[in-house]
Amino acid sequence: MLFAFAGCSQEEQAASPSQPAAIEEQSAEVAVDAEDVVEESASDAVLEVVEESAAEAEPEDTAIVLAHADVTDTPRTWKFREGQHYERMVPTQRTVGGAGKIEVAEVFMYGCPHCYSLEASINAWAENVDPGVRFVRIPAVFNSLAKLHAQLYYTQEALERNGVLDNPANFHAAVFREFHDRNNQLASEAAIQKLFERYGVSADDFSRTWNSFEVDQALRIGGDLSRRYNITAVPTIIVNGKYRISAGDRANLFDIIDELTAREGLR
């Protein structure tokens, strides 16, 4: 049995009768009905994903040697246990990036208070991550508002790649603050555009990116990975498409992540 989870579950999000929402002003409110998880066919995903029946449980990839790895021949004693501290996904699933690094993915939602409270800790961990480890975020889409926020997140990423958004880390933090501290649910495209404009993004750049193939593709891929990872609550951590960790055990969370990445580096 896994440790008790303190997070935002799919059922809790779907059961919420309404959301405060946005009118023209940032501090205004709108009612947003929660919907069921948006079901997209895996065949719609732009990224070709190996079907589970064809995937290997243990792909024979070349080991990634971590800079901080213990390279001695002394057998390692592992502290954390499958079924108690983490779950193993069989078969191993795809990751966001390539196989050149061990990937740690945080599945999150901007509307989840537990994701917000994890931000400072996970950012501090990511700043000191081993060069052989890649940290990514995947926004969950439990309801219509979460899907809108996922589009916001991928728009932010695209604007960063294209050199339009200068400080994406500050913008990412600002989205959490708008939702949890300023009671701005960012429940419409217009409200989201206003936030981007506060960070120097023009209306034209926002609209072009928001409606782009690049963002639509990212939404499809992220949604497909969330289904394959069987995400039912957030925040959840996925290590290399193989291990799923519920982030309720904050005291041990990053030690668990580091041990699992070390395992991946030794295989």
pLDDT tens sequence across 90-133 = 999 999 999 899 999 999 999 999 999 999 999 999 999 999 99
pLDDT tens sequence across 54-88 = 344 444 455 555 655 555 555 678 999 999 999 99
Instruction: Report the pLDDT value the prediction gives residue 248, as an integer from 0 to 100.
Output: 75
Task: Identify residue 169 by its one-letter amino acid code.
Answer: A
> Of 3.60.9.10, 3.40.30.10, 2.30.110.10, 3.40.50.10490, which CATH number belongs to 8-266?
3.40.30.10
Instruction: Report the pLDDT value the prediction gives residue 8, as an integer from 0 to 100.
Output: 85
Q: Which residue has the higher pLDDT, 210 or 33?
A: 210
In the chain, domain spans: 8-266
Backbone angles phi, psi at 206, to 5 degrees: -65, -50
pLDDT band at 241 (very low <50, low <70, confident <90, very high): very high
Give the pair of three-digit tokens for residue 251.
């005291």
- Other CB atoms within a 10 A radius of the CB of residue 97 amount to 11
Beta strands 236-239 and 87-88 are unpaired
Place of tokens 């050199």: 163
DSSP assignment of the chain equals: -PPP--SEEHHHHHH--------SSTT--------PPP---GGG-SS----TTTS-SS--PPPPPPTT---SSSPP-----BTTTBEE-SS----SS-TTSEEEEEEE-TT-HHHHHHHHHHHHHHHT--TTEEEEEEE--SSHHHHHHHHHHHHHHHHHHTT--S-HHHHHHHHHHHHHTS-----SHHHHHHHHHHTT--HHHHHHHHTSHHHHHHHHHHHHHHHHTT--EESEEEETTTEEEETT-TTTHHHHHHHHHHHHHH-
Of 143, 147, 123, the C-alpha closest to 135 is 123
Q: Which residues pair with 9 in a beta bridge?
A: 233
| pTM over 0.85, yes/no | no
